[in-house]
């Protein structure tokens, strides 16, 4: 019988935190009387995380670790954890509990109380959320990144990059996820919104980790998030760039017209060439923006079709089992 709640926790070199984190999650879920499983995923740790998880699992059958020996990234770890989960609700947490376990129970309560919600995000950046003790540089990257990504997603979401979320199992399992890195959080939201799932946020408090080393990598994070922004809303980016080029070309053209009317225009002036290039470049960028918007809509249609195929496959398997 499927448990009510599955908790997936990606871990990379978290031997210092593993026992305390799993104990805190277990105690929080037990206190609520829910049936549950904990699915910690060892993402190729080079310390003793794998051995620690095996020890903990031997003492509690509700701990079902996923272990592999090569580091593949948070997205890969989450995908394997989601695939191994069986819960009606699937939650994901950070291994260092930078969001305390009460966020877990609050997210599950949120889904129980709101049958229309499919995904709940713990959001420190929404009104009512807060941040405590996080290093300035990391916080600045995170805040700015989430502001940029807010414009890339079709729904206003204050915190789109965090791992701490709860999903209805059926909704999560309808997504055909591919990302191996932290961009998986954005892929989930993009695909879920394309399928019409309801995504909500709840105020959360993000705290600095107390043990172990942070896995935050500014360059990789910024690169992946900017790439996602371009791919998610290319029409906005290239449309704005095209309009800017056309405006610049128009301004140069007006100037050249004034020179022409003054009888001083030399057709070989570099400004003539610049005007032509600006107008051609702007037209090309606008054309690309239109094409890109059509490709994005095609991708969303493919996502919806994949979800329907997956639902049909599961329905067929259930009927065969019956």
Q: Where are the domains of the chain?
A: 5-231, 234-321
Question: What is the pTM assigned to this prediction?
Answer: 0.73
Q: What rounded mean pLDDT belongs to the chain?
A: 85
- Please count the residues of the chain: 322
Residue 166 scores a pLDDT above 80:
yes
Confidence of residue 306 (pLDDT cuts 50, 70, 90): low
Give the residue ranges of DSSP H helices in the chain.
Answer: 15-32, 49-59, 74-84, 102-113, 136-152, 169-173, 184-194, 218-232, 234-261, 270-321
Helix (H) or strand (E) segment spanning residue 166 = strand 165-168
Q: How far, in Å, are 72, 234, 255, 277 from residue 248 at the CA level?
A: 46, 21, 11, 10
CA nearest to 149, candidates 188, 206, 98: 188
Q: How far, in Å, are 139, 152, 290 from residue 229 at the CA level?
A: 19, 5, 17
| pLDDT 10s digits, 122-162 | 999 999 999 998 888 778 878 877 877 777 777 889 998 88
Q: Which CATH number is correct for 5-231, 3.90.1640.30, 1.10.760.10, 1.20.120.790, 3.90.550.10?
A: 3.90.550.10
* Average pLDDT of the segment spanning 301-315: 63
Confidence of residue 252 (pLDDT cuts 50, 70, 90): confident
Helix (H) or strand (E) segment spanning residue 6 = strand 5-11
Confidence of residue 113 (pLDDT cuts 50, 70, 90): very high
Residue 265 scores a pLDDT above 70:
no
Residue 116 backbone phi and psi in degrees, to 5: -85, -15
Three-state secondary structure along 93-126? CCCCCCCCCHHHHHHHHHHHHCCCCCEEEEECCC
* Average pLDDT of the segment spanning 167-171: 95
pLDDT value for 314: 55
């Amino acid at each position: 019988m499927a448990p009510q709640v599955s908790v997936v926790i990606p871990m990379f070199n978290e031997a210092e935190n593993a026992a305390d984190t799993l104990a805190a999650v277990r105690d929080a879920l037990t206190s609520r009387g829910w049936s549950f499983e904990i699915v910690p995923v060892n993402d190729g740790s080079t310390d003793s995380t794998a051995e620690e998880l095996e020890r903990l699992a031997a003492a509690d059958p509700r701990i079902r670790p996923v272990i592999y020996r090569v580091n593949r990234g948070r997205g890969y770890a989450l995908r394997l954890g989601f695939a191994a989960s069986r819960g009606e609700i699937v939650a994901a947490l950070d291994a260092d509990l930078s969001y305390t376990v009460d966020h877990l129970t609050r997210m599950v309560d949120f889904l129980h109380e709101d049958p229309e919600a499919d995904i709940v995000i713990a959001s420190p950046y929404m009104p009512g959320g807060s941040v405590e003790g996080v290093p300035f540089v990391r916080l600045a990257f995170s805040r700015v990144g989430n502001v940029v990504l807010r414009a890339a997603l079709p729904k206003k979401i204050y915190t789109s990059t965090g791992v701490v979320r709860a999903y209805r199992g059926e909704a999560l399992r309808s997504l055909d996820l591919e990302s191996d890195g932290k961009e998986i959080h954005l892929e989930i939201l993009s695909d879920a919104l394309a399928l019409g799932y309801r995504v909500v946020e709840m105020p959360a408090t993000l705290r600095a980790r107390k043990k172990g080393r942070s896995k935050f990598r500014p360059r990789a994070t910024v690169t992946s998030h900017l790439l996602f922004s371009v791919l998610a809303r290319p029409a906005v980016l290239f449309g704005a760039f095209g309009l800017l080029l056309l405006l610049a070309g128009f301004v140069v053209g007006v100037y050249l017209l004034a020179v022409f009317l003054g009888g001083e225009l030399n057709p070989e002036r570099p400004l003539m060439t610049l005007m032509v290039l600006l107008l051609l470049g702007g037209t090309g960028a606008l054309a690309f923006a239109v094409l890109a918007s059509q490709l994005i809509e095609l991708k969303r249609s493919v996502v919806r079709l994949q979800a329907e195929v997956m639902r049909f496959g599961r329905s067929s398997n259930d009927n065969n089992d019956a």
